[in-house]
Amino acid sequence: MLSTEMRYFLAVADCGSLSAASAQLFVAVSAISRQIQRLEQQLGVTLFARHARGMVLTEAGEIFAHHVRKNLLDMEYALAEIKGLKAVRRTLIRVACTDGLAFTLLPRLIAAFRRDHPGVLFDVRVASAQGVAELLRSGECDVALQFSLHAERAVEVVGSWPAPVLLVMHDSHPLAGVPQVALADLSHYPLALPQQNTTVRQLFELASHMSGHLIEPVLTCDNFSTLFHFLLRTPLAVTICSSFTLEEAQQQGLVMRAVNIDQLSQRTLQLQTQSGRPRSAALTLFLTFLQQQLSALSAAIKA
């Protein structure tokens, strides 16, 4: 139900060039270019910066694209309601999360929710903390779960729970029985860490700098599953995560230990939605379910 100009505009914005948009739309490059120029003339602003390798949205273009996508999503919800799909059936919920939450927590929660609501479908996208926020703001997901250090623009926080950074090791590890582990103690053991674009690594690096103990990891990876399986096969190794990331540590013969450093307690797990956006009945139910489950899990962790 978008006008031709709007469809062509979004195609170029998504594809990054006229030629790529042309291939996607099966429309001549010249026709797309004319519509973009007409739209810019109507608005009185330049929507794209033209480069040899493609077209990039200007600041005005970013603002316009955000509103076009939001209006398109609002129209989809209106059509769904008109067709009677507001009921909890045949509904797709798009979820974005950071890597650690996709390891065991989110799959378990989705499976539990679908036992009562089998008609609800899920699409899960895993991204960096910045990427998750962008997916939410652009309307490409309905709900987001991520570890956060600060408030995000144009994002509504539905729930928030403390998620301090913890050390993970085998229950037979020499540090497993130490009442209070210090960062200096880790220098004697192989350390596996997430990459530096993660909040857990950023806090760990900050704490290391503050304490004066910089430790070079033997393994760095942006996939927690890789760190986890390396840890299982390396008895003296140590990695880091939160209790939400690794719910069944004891069943794997692992223990989680806190480090008494303020910087490692500055992170929260946030349940987020796009601010001001209408919610389907299924999404409302799922958000309530997540709030209840995560609150119960947080209470169990503290106990």
The DSSP code for 97 is E
Cα separation, 38 vs 263, whole angstroms: 52
Q: Where does the pLDDT of residue 78 fall: very low under 50, low under 70, confident under 90, or very high at 90 and above?
A: low
Is 126's pLDDT higher than 70?
Answer: yes
> What's the whole-number mean pLDDT along residues 200-209?
86
Q: Where does the pLDDT of residue 204 fall: very low under 50, low under 70, confident under 90, or very high at 90 and above?
A: confident
Please state, rounded to an integer, the average pLDDT across all residues of the chain: 87
Cα separation, 50 vs 16, whole angstroms: 10
- pLDDT given at position 82: 58
Cα separation, 179 vs 257, whole angstroms: 9
Cα separation, 110 vs 100, whole angstroms: 15
> In 3-state terms, what secondary structure has residue 20?
helix
Which helix (H) or strand (E) segment is 7 a member of?
Answer: helix 4-15
This model's pTM is above 0.85: no
Residues forming a β-bridge with 238: 191
Comparing CA positions, the residue from 128, 69, 120 lying closest to residue 102 is 128
The better pLDDT of the pair 40, 236 is held by 236
The better pLDDT of the pair 232, 180 is held by 232
Residue % of the chain over a pLDDT of 70: 94
Is 303's pLDDT higher than 70?
Answer: no
Cα separation, 25 vs 274, whole angstroms: 29
Residues forming a β-bridge with 145: 97, 271
